[in-house]
Amino acid sequence: MGFCRVNETSLKAQATGTPISAGLVEQLKAEIVRKLAYSLGKNPTVAQAHDWLTAGILAARDHMVDVWHRTTRESYETGRKRVYYLSLEFLIGRSFADALNNLGLTGPMAQAMRELGVDLNAIETLEPDAALGNGGLGRLAACYMEAMASTGVPALGYGIRYDHGLFKQRIDGGKQVEVPEDWLSFRNPWEFERRESAYKIGFGGTVVSTDTAGEVVWTPGETVFAVAYDTPIIGWRGRDATTLRLWRARAMHPLSLDAFNQGDLVGAVAERNRAEAISKVLYPNDSTPAGQELRLRQEFFFTSASLQDLVRRHYRQFGTLTTLPDKVAIQLNDTHPALAVAELMRLLIDQHGLQWEEAWPLTQAAISYTNHTLLPEALETWPVALMERLLPRHMQIIFGINARFLDGVRRAPGGDTADLSKLSIIDESHGRRVRMAHLAFVGSHAVNGVSALHSNLMQETVFAPLNAIFPGRITNVTNGITPRRWLLGANPGLTQLVSEVCGEDISDDIEKIRGLAAHAGDASVQERAAAIRGENKRKLAQIIRQETGVVVDPSALFDVQIKRIHEYKRQLLNILETIALYDAMRSEPYRDWAPRLKIFAGKAASNYGTAKSIINLINDVAAVVNNDITTRDRLKVVFLPNYNVSLAEVIIPAADLSEQISTAGMEASGTGNMKFALNGAITIGTLDGANIEIGERVGEKNIVIFGKTAEQVEEARRNPRPTHEVIEATPHLEGVLDAVAGGSYSPREPGRYAGLVDGLRTNDWFMVLNDFESYRLAQRRVDALWADQSTWWKMSLTNTAHCGWFSADRAIREYAERIWHVPAGYAAKA
Ligand code: 26V
């Protein structure tokens, strides 16, 4: 029978500290066994590990449903305003542990499973990550859904139910290999399919004006169905639940019998394949903008389904659409759903008969837009010709919006001098293209950046012309992370400690964690924090050994950089400095070097050659360094494959040092930086994104800052110093670059990194060479701090104490108050 008998008590159950009710345990046991029998058709003697997981999830889900229905019913009955969060990505990860934690069922479920002969911790790891996102933007959406449920903001998240999420990464001979991801292969026990909630989504076809009053009829040439799949997201203490509604594309006619009867088997399913391609796979986003037609089809598909759904719901309940913005706040997570502006106008005018002048203020009042990057190459634009072919009615509406907007500017005081080409939604300079950020900006009442620096840069750079026309429209909401997953769930040991010091109610109001600051210098608290970290590091060391074969010393300084691989995030700077350190250790082997473990993880977009080459270099350096007996107990380098949410949850609580070293001005915010700091890692970072705000809160003594500021980067780009001069002026750099370029780390293919190094020597756009010395010295400051452990732990505890502010609950309250104008149901008990 059973596959994994329990022999240890669940750590998480211990951490909750509450006595476990025997009645609840008996009830859960009965529920699990029932699910096993009547939903899975198994009895306990033959059930496999995965069956127990599914039965446990189904049992837990039942505990969410009543809350979920109550939340939905209440918001319906009270007619409260609701938030609709439109996002092409939701990077959820696993849900079981999180749901149990929020329901207060972690202990009882562990006990119930134990009594059934099952180890809850073991089966939890069998749940596949829902990887419906690339990185920060998608993870933020997942944190916000949970935070809205926890703060009592009525909300529905809309996205796409991709069959295949972000690819899995394998490392083969040091190189990234992409493997398709298949999270639905065991079905998804969290979701409810809603066949009855299907909408028709049109593409192409023709637009005709039927009468002189200007009534317009769009007859799409192609129609697909969007079918809803709902997942409840339970909030803290199970008080409320939000809904994540993901759309799946289905064909109107799954089979053409005509074609089939003529023996054309491929033709018989052609329509089906074309339709279903829309929700087949998530686009990797961060190398080149996905300019493909399929991507535009995805964007319109989920935007149209979501808008039809919310407009229908509103109309059914209130019988009019003139009250839409009183009841509906539509948040655009980046420009991917920017077509919402045109689609809402179309629904109001073409389907509900409103006049343009009535529809436009309603649209603007309902919609708001979050920008997540200023990288010019990352700003979405679509060719007008493609839009005219795929979405002819929407293109007309966009032209209409643009004409009225530019007309208004022209007629306003000073309008005759405005540069309309910079304001226009249509970019005429690179072929004719629709600027999606301009569409989103013009169609919104509020536009926000995701950190103070980023929001300022929005006003000064990309959106400066629009900001001049709409002063005050750009605002800032610094990102936040959910403390339930990233502290309570991921780090039960530290949670226990801070609960003892600051009170149990840090779980209801994480900002109370600031009480820890007064104890940051206590030797006993420091000792316990160190022991907890030590335990987390031992667990990570085991995983490292399993995944890479490298044996590491858990007492070494764990120095971590985990995030998508990108030139601007500068994993290259990190590995080059690692080489310099390696050289230094070899030339002075008798010095008292602090043992360091360099940990990297992250995926590179499959078409991003430079990023893949950086992964290869990290692995090549690891192979050399880890096998050198002169440095073996002082320096190790590991690259953990297949970075995802679940891996982050074990790495972050084990980190001593958090690498947040992007080229200043390029990382909009970062959210990993917040997770690390809350868990007590010290940040080594640039003055970029939310690092600045972390520094302001923890104090400059408790963060290690280096490198050029955003302004200095801009200046260095305007007036670049020849790279050979920079290299000559930087100790150690020439040697490091020569070694890499000359094949010291790739002896079997000496030219492997010639191009990578040549790129740096040609143009130091990302300031890898320019910031090298400052980074190297910052790392030596880190060594000195590490050498004084009581200072280190004081810094660490101070970081934890001052990072409660980076809670997603705080961010959601800011959105609710300043952008959505909805009250949060549960105020923090401040
Ligand atoms: C997209 C692209 C597309 C083509 C070229 C380069 C490039 C680089 C980055 C991206 C990602 C854009 C959207 C995004 O994920 N932004 C991230 O959003 C997070 C949540 O606000 C934020 O913390 C990260 O700093 C930001 O990079």
Query: Ligand 1: does its nearest atom lie under 6 Å from the Cβ of 669?
Result: yes
Predicted confidence (pLDDT) per residue in 252-267, tens digit = 999 999 999 999 999 9
State yes or no: is 322 an active-site residue.
Answer: no
The CA 563 to ligand 1 mean position distance, Å, reads 11
Which residue, 377, 411, 419, is CA-closest to 291? 377
Q: Which of 29, 297, 438, 563 is catalytic?
A: 563
Mean pLDDT of all residues in 329-350: 98
The CA 377 to ligand 1 mean position distance, Å, reads 11
pLDDT the model gives residue 204:
98
Contact 90, 159 (CB under 8 A): yes
Query: Ligand 1: does its nearest atom lie under 6 Å from the Cβ of 670?
Result: yes
Query: Ligand 1: does its nearest atom lie under 6 Å from the Cβ of 688?
Result: no
Give dist(CA 528, CA 493) in Å, integer: 9
Query: Ligand 1: does its nearest atom lie under 6 Å from the Cβ of 136?
Result: yes
581: which DSSP letter?
H
The CA 136 to ligand 1 mean position distance, Å, reads 7
Mean pLDDT of all residues in 781-807: 98
811 vs 347, 492, 782, 805, CA distance in Å? 31, 24, 31, 9
Closest CA to ligand 1's atom 1: 286
Give dist(CA 533, CA 551) in Å, integer: 18
**Structure confidence at residue 214 as a pLDDT band (50, 70, 90):** confident
* Ligand 1 mutation pick, 87, 89, 137, max ligand atoms within 8 A of CB: 137
State yes or no: is 569 an active-site residue.
Answer: yes
* Cross-strand pairs, 264: none
Out of 261-265, 302-306, 643-647, least confident range: 261-265
The CA 672 to ligand 1 mean position distance, Å, reads 13
The CA 524 to ligand 1 mean position distance, Å, reads 41
The CA 711 to ligand 1 mean position distance, Å, reads 20
Closest CA to ligand 1's atom 23: 670
Contact 495, 14 (CB under 8 A): no
pLDDT the model gives residue 390:
98
Closest CA to ligand 1's atom 12: 373
Query: Ligand 1: does its nearest atom lie under 6 Å from the Cβ of 89?
Result: no
Q: Record the tokens describing residue 444, joined without a space.
A: 């919104």
pLDDT the model gives residue 415:
87
Closest CA to ligand 1's atom 10: 286
Contact 329, 292 (CB under 8 A): no
Query: Ligand 1: does its nearest atom lie under 6 Å from the Cβ of 372?
Result: yes
Query: Ligand 1: does its nearest atom lie under 6 Å from the Cβ of 371?
Result: no
Query: Ligand 1: does its nearest atom lie under 6 Å from the Cβ of 137?
Result: yes
% of the chain with per-residue pLDDT over 90? 92
Q: Record the tokens describing residue 720, joined without a space.
A: 């670049």
Q: Which atom number of ligand 1 is nearest to the Cα of residue 377?
A: 5
The CA 150 to ligand 1 mean position distance, Å, reads 26
pLDDT the model gives residue 125:
98
pLDDT the model gives residue 19:
83
Mean pLDDT of all residues in 601-626: 97
pLDDT the model gives residue 248:
98
Which residue, 460, 505, 472, is CA-closest to 829? 505
Mean pLDDT of all residues in 165-193: 98
* Ligand 1 mutation pick, 373, 451, 766, max ligand atoms within 8 A of CB: 373
Query: Ligand 1: does its nearest atom lie under 6 Å from the Cβ of 782?
Result: no
**Structure confidence at residue 7 as a pLDDT band (50, 70, 90):** very low
CA dihedral 228, 233, 234, 239 (to 10 degrees): -60
Out of 73-82, 295-304, 507-516, least confident range: 73-82
Q: Which atom number of ligand 1 is nearest to the Cα of residue 479?
A: 21
Which residue, 622, 565, 624, 579, is CA-closest to 599? 622
Query: Ligand 1: does its nearest atom lie under 6 Å from the Cβ of 378?
Result: yes
Query: Ligand 1: does its nearest atom lie under 6 Å from the Cβ of 375?
Result: yes
State yes or no: is 675 an active-site residue.
Answer: yes
Give dist(CA 402, CA 487) in Å, integer: 46
Query: Ligand 1: does its nearest atom lie under 6 Å from the Cβ of 450?
Result: yes
Q: At what angle are helices 22-34 and 106-115 packed, to 10 degrees?
A: 60
pLDDT the model gives residue 17:
54
Contact 63, 238 (CB under 8 A): yes
Closest CA to ligand 1's atom 15: 137
Which residue, 15, 26, 5, is CA-closest to 123? 5
Closest CA to ligand 1's atom 24: 670
Query: Ligand 1: does its nearest atom lie under 6 Å from the Cβ of 238?
Result: no
State the residue for tokens 């025997």.
Answer: 22
Query: For residue 511, is it left (φ>0), alpha (ψ between -120 and 50) or beta?
Result: alpha
| Single-letter code of the amino acid located at 181 | E
State yes or no: is 563 an active-site residue.
Answer: yes
Whether residue 5 is predicted with pLDDT greater than 60 in this model: the reply is: no
CB atoms closer than 10 angstroms to residue 551: 11
pLDDT the model gives residue 818:
98
| Single-letter code of the amino acid located at 559 | D
Whether residue 223 is predicted with pLDDT greater than 70 in this model: the reply is: yes
The CA 134 to ligand 1 mean position distance, Å, reads 9
Mean pLDDT of all residues in 777-801: 98
Give dist(CA 717, CA 115) in Å, integer: 64
Give dist(CA 141, CA 548) in Å, integer: 31
Query: Ligand 1: does its nearest atom lie under 6 Å from the Cβ of 665?
Result: no
Whether residue 652 is predicted with pLDDT greater than 50 in this model: the reply is: yes
Q: Which CATH number fits domain 79-94+129-479+813-820: 3.30.420.40, 3.30.450.20, 3.30.70.380, 3.40.50.2000?
A: 3.40.50.2000
**Structure confidence at residue 416 as a pLDDT band (50, 70, 90):** confident
Q: Record the tokens describing residue 199, joined without a space.
A: 């909408």
Which residue, 93, 162, 199, is CA-closest to 647? 93
pLDDT the model gives residue 827:
58
pLDDT the model gives residue 12:
42
Domain 483-806 classification at class level: alpha beta
Query: Ligand 1: does its nearest atom lie under 6 Å from the Cβ of 476?
Result: no
Whether residue 330 is predicted with pLDDT greater than 70 in this model: the reply is: yes
Closest CA to ligand 1's atom 16: 372
DSSP per position, 83-106: EEEE-S-EEEE--HHHHHHHHT-H
Query: Ligand 1: does its nearest atom lie under 6 Å from the Cβ of 796?
Result: no
Contact 701, 676 (CB under 8 A): no
Closest CA to ligand 1's atom 20: 137
Q: Which atom number of ligand 1 is nearest to the Cα of residue 670?
A: 23
The CA 567 to ligand 1 mean position distance, Å, reads 12
**Structure confidence at residue 284 as a pLDDT band (50, 70, 90):** confident
Average pLDDT along the chain: 95
Q: Which of 372, 484, 752, 776 is catalytic?
A: 372
Whether residue 10 is predicted with pLDDT greater than 50 in this model: the reply is: no
* Ligand 1 mutation pick, 91, 143, 372, max ligand atoms within 8 A of CB: 372
Cβ neighbours of residue 178 closer than 8 Å, sequence gap 6 or more: 167, 168, 169, 170, 606
Q: Which of 393, 445, 473, 569 is catalytic?
A: 569
Predicted confidence (pLDDT) per residue in 439-487, tens digit = 999 999 999 999 999 999 999 999 999 999 999 999 999 999 999 999 9
Query: Ligand 1: does its nearest atom lie under 6 Å from the Cβ of 689?
Result: yes
The CA 285 to ligand 1 mean position distance, Å, reads 8
Q: Which of 72, 631, 671, 686 is catalytic?
A: 671
Mean pLDDT of all residues in 499-527: 98
State the residue for tokens 């079918």.
Answer: 227
The CA 138 to ligand 1 mean position distance, Å, reads 10
Whether residue 4 is predicted with pLDDT greater than 70 in this model: the reply is: no
pLDDT the model gives residue 13:
40
Mean pLDDT of all residues in 799-807: 98
Query: Ligand 1: does its nearest atom lie under 6 Å from the Cβ of 289?
Result: yes
Give dist(CA 645, CA 485) in Å, integer: 10
The CA 775 to ligand 1 mean position distance, Å, reads 24
Query: Ligand 1: does its nearest atom lie under 6 Å from the Cβ of 150?
Result: no
Q: Which of 336, 566, 675, 697 is catalytic?
A: 675
Beta strand extents in 546-690 (DSSP E only): 557-562, 596-601, 635-639, 657-660, 682-685
Closest CA to ligand 1's atom 13: 372
Q: 483-806: same fold as 79-94+129-479+813-820?
A: yes
Say how many residues make up the chain: 830
Query: Ligand 1: does its nearest atom lie under 6 Å from the Cβ of 138?
Result: no
Query: Ligand 1: does its nearest atom lie under 6 Å from the Cβ of 481?
Result: no
Predicted confidence (pLDDT) per residue in 371-401, tens digit = 999 999 899 999 999 999 999 999 999 999 9
Domain residue spans in the chain?
A: 79-94+129-479+813-820, 483-806
The CA 475 to ligand 1 mean position distance, Å, reads 18
